[in-house]
Structure 1
Amino acid sequence: MSAEAGEQVPIYDLVGVGFGPSNLALAIALAEHNANAAEPVTAHFLERQPRFGWHRGMLIDTATMQVSFLKDLVTMRNPTSEFTFVNYLHSAGRLVDFINHKNLFPLRVEFHDYFEWAAAKVDDVVSYGVEVVDVQPVHDGEEIAFLDVRTSDGTMLRARNLVMGTGLRPQLPEGITTGPRVWHNNELLRRIPTMKDPRRFVIIGAGQSAAEVAALLHDEFPRAEICAVFARYGYSPADDSSFANRIFDPEAVDQFYRAGEPVKDRLMRYHGSTNYSAVDVDLIDELYRRVYREKVLGTQRLRLFNVSRPVQVVDTGSTVTAAVESLTTGDRTVLDADAVIYATGYLPADPTPLLGDLSKQCARDEEGRLKVERDYRITTESVIRGGIYLQGGTEHTHGITSSLLSNTAVRVGEILTSIVDRRASLMPRYAVSVS
């Protein structure tokens, strides 16, 4: 795909930046569309990882998904698809076993295997181990007709549309940097084998990941003390009740998008507990059982520093010292640990640095956030013919499902429909010769 001097640069209807679950779902939607389309949509995806991977550092053997298996890559868009989780189970010879399990929520490692199974079926439209370095406009007079996507290996692809699926980035408190003894939980499974007879871990965070890390380390290191630090009185249960789950319905995206900013803010406050800083109640109960059992036995290894915050974390070279302050009394406890793990969530990756000067032609609201159309297309100046679509980073416009699996299948269908419809209306303008 490298463009030598005088060589024709390949032109695609869309180029996808990143190949996580969202753009994988889009690649599947494209494959299904093209199977019956008179004019197929041409596409290629670029992924910097050497192979498909989704939060590999937290693929704990016992962890389960927090979303129904029916909200897989395709079912909400096309339940008859060959790419459903049910078809994956059939292919793996586990369909009957899964049915007998009577569970909507598969193991996370199993769902990851499903993703890999699906990704292998569309690997002809993906280049792995390739990082996008910038995007340059291709002009036709005063208009920008195409976008040239350049990669670290010298590859260049010419796109009519971009779909940015750049994923999430670990969120750390200001001033904290990771190192051999200070991690974000996304490094957990890579770091655990490096620990030799640890005495103490400190885990900071109150959400599902923090609770899973505490449980895993408590199991893996039976002689180590596990100290969980969070500002709440205890882990709060995730609200997965039937009515609250309507915030994840496809129709809820329309309602949220049309709502005014005060209503959007209120909805996010009302229903943040469906996803943020919330823990499955079964895991909460299990951790409480462990704390109580240890109190009975008089050997407390799982210590909960609730209503507390870390005020200082210092890597001394051989250990890391965490000062934990009570929010109610101000008393401080200094913990000398082998590692401090921040389970403090993720933030959407900002796609605009890759766009270079093009980012100046992307509209923003009063708070500096990107303006996004209902079809997930960034609002741009009219000189840009094509669309720059976002898979993630649209929570402020489209609601809580922006970076979640819940609405992925429906979202990619809407993006594909937008690209197809806009291609039909713009096709006469694409029939130009540009260099």
Structure 2
Amino acid sequence: MTGTAVEGDALESDRSVKPVVLDVAGIGFGAANLALAAALHETGRSAGALFLEKQQNFGWHRGMLMEGASMQVSFLKDIATMRNPVSDFGFLSYLQEKGRLVDFINHAVLTPSRSEFHDYLNWAADRVRHMVEYRTEVTGVRPVTADGAVVALDVLAGDRVAARARNLVIAQGLRPRLPEGVETGERVWHSSQLLHRLPEFDERAPKRVVVVGAGQSAAEIAGHLMDRYPAAEVCAVFTRYGYSIADASPFANRVFDPAAVDDFYNAPSAVKESLLRYHGTTNYAAVDGQVLDGLYRRQYEQRVTGEPRLRVMHTSRIDSVDPRADSVAVRVRFLPTDEVTDLEADLLIYATGYTSPDPAEVLGGIAGSLCRDETGELLIGRDYRLRTTADFRCGIYVQGATEATHGIASTLLSMTAVRAGEIAESLAGDRRARERAAENWN
């Protein structure tokens, strides 16, 4: 780990910590900060960067790497190509190194399998392994001051200072979302736990599983469960009348273009709200057309054979959940008539999506330096940098938790490479400004 040594007693700090200040410390090391690490490495600015990750090694949605599940975006929207088409961190470089480039071209697809894309991300993460400290869970941040100004930040992992840096980039990923009052347990899961926990039930194959949700994950899980447990009934419960197809038209997909971020960021609040509402079906509570058609075909064929296993309980909601020793009792209410159905299930799986954690949660030690609007929301610049008070000389950038300010692509791969490049350039500009100031001082 390299950086700039701080001379003398200029910084008020824990004397047990070596006074070395990094250019940037990253909190979290998923696809977003991996893309930033690649950008810094590629431009020769990796020496002063360190990323802190609580997992033991790199992992990306491991619980949903189901056999046959495909990506929903083009392989060109990897962690580098949209930023630099000739980057050797791109998906094509990965294929070339793995000896599968010709085979992939012959496959004639734009969307690789989810498992292959995970392997690609692992390949990229291994290339910047020297920039990452795994098994490190960040618990807080505290200021380091000199002459009344905050000039660096200590990133804490429990009682330990894991890094000291002039800039932070927070990319903590997504947090599983559950309906209010729902708690996971032995037989009640969030979809993110699927492949981690299903092996527990392989020997005692479930007879009935309830899947809540109407989006891509819910539909994929329903299909996977029917394949894995040929005798099980799968009950799909959602408040819609039916699964909706994802809007993947080329015109609608322009909402994920880099230029769309500028349009969204500069738009009035009312326009932002309408854009998120209009284009929600490009990402939320919608199913890829091929997955949807396959699921419908399967249900229809089951009706033909007289062995219905996919039970779609549309326009319905879960009223109550009662976990028991060997089952979970689920009460489902059909909203048009208020009719109630009681189900005895082996498993209840909530495919109810994710939410971005509030970046302020980890920034409690510097809360007074963060600027907010009249509603109390953090102010975020176009370059993803939080606005701070005048005495705050450090940069804090956020990745992912910016849908309200930067648009619907904030949590998706579509903008990952471009955003990483923009943050890298902002960091470089800040560094050049410091260097110019030091030259003028001398």
- Alpha-carbon deviation of 1:156? 3.0
Matches within 5 A, 1:84-233: 84-152=90-158, 154-195=160-201, 196-233=204-241
2:407 pairs with 1:399: yes
Please tell me whether the aligned partners of residues 356 and 400 of structure 2 are also in contact (alpha carbons under 8 angstroms).
Answer: yes
How many equivalent pairs are there?
Answer: 426
- Alpha-carbon deviation of 1:6? 5.1
Match of 2:72 in 1: 66
Unaligned runs of 5+ in 1: none
* Cα distance, 1:191–1:303 mapped onto 2, change above 3 Å: same
CA distance in 2, matches of 1:223, 1:283: 21
Match of 1:336 in 2: 344
1:304 to 297, 312, 326: 312
Match of 1:356 in 2: 364
**Deviations 1:381-421 (CA, angstroms, capped at 9, x unpaired):** 12111110001110000001111100111001100111111
- SS of 2:217's partner is helix
Matches within 5 A, 1:246-257: 246-257=254-265
Please tell me whether the aligned partners of residues 28 and 171 of structure 2 are also in contact (alpha carbons under 8 angstroms).
Answer: yes
Identity of aligned residues (%): 53
1:291 to 292, 299, 302: 299
Q: TM-score, normalised by structure 2?
A: 0.94
Match of 1:51 in 2: 57
CA distance in 2, matches of 1:430, 1:342: 55
CA distance in 2, matches of 1:67, 1:230: 25
**Deviations 1:247-291 (CA, angstroms, capped at 9, x unpaired):** 000000000000000100111111110000110011111111111
Q: TM-score, normalised by structure 1?
A: 0.95
Match of 1:424 in 2: 432
CA distance in 1, matches of 2:245, 2:374: 34
Unaligned runs of 5+ in 2: 2-12
2:21 pairs with 1:16: no
- Alpha-carbon deviation of 1:92? 1.0
- Alpha-carbon deviation of 1:360? 2.9
Please tell me whether the aligned partners of residues 154 and 161 of structure 2 are also in contact (alpha carbons under 8 angstroms).
Answer: no
1:243 to 247, 251, 264: 251
* Cα distance, 1:197–1:251 mapped onto 2, change above 3 Å: same
**Deviations 1:156-205 (CA, angstroms, capped at 9, x unpaired):** 31110000011100000000010000000000001111111211000000
Please tell me whether the aligned partners of residues 41 and 420 of structure 1 are also in contact (alpha carbons under 8 angstroms).
Answer: no
Match of 1:273 in 2: 281
- Alpha-carbon deviation of 1:368? 3.0
Match of 2:4 in 1: none
- SS of 1:183's partner is strand
Greater mean alpha carbon deviation, residues 341-350 or residues 291-300: 291-300
Q: Superposition RMSD on alpha carbons, in Å?
A: 1.6
Please tell me whether the aligned partners of residues 138 and 148 of structure 1 are also in contact (alpha carbons under 8 angstroms).
Answer: yes
**Deviations 1:63-116 (CA, angstroms, capped at 9, x unpaired):** 000110000010001111111101111111111111111110000000000000
- Alpha-carbon deviation of 1:379? 1.2
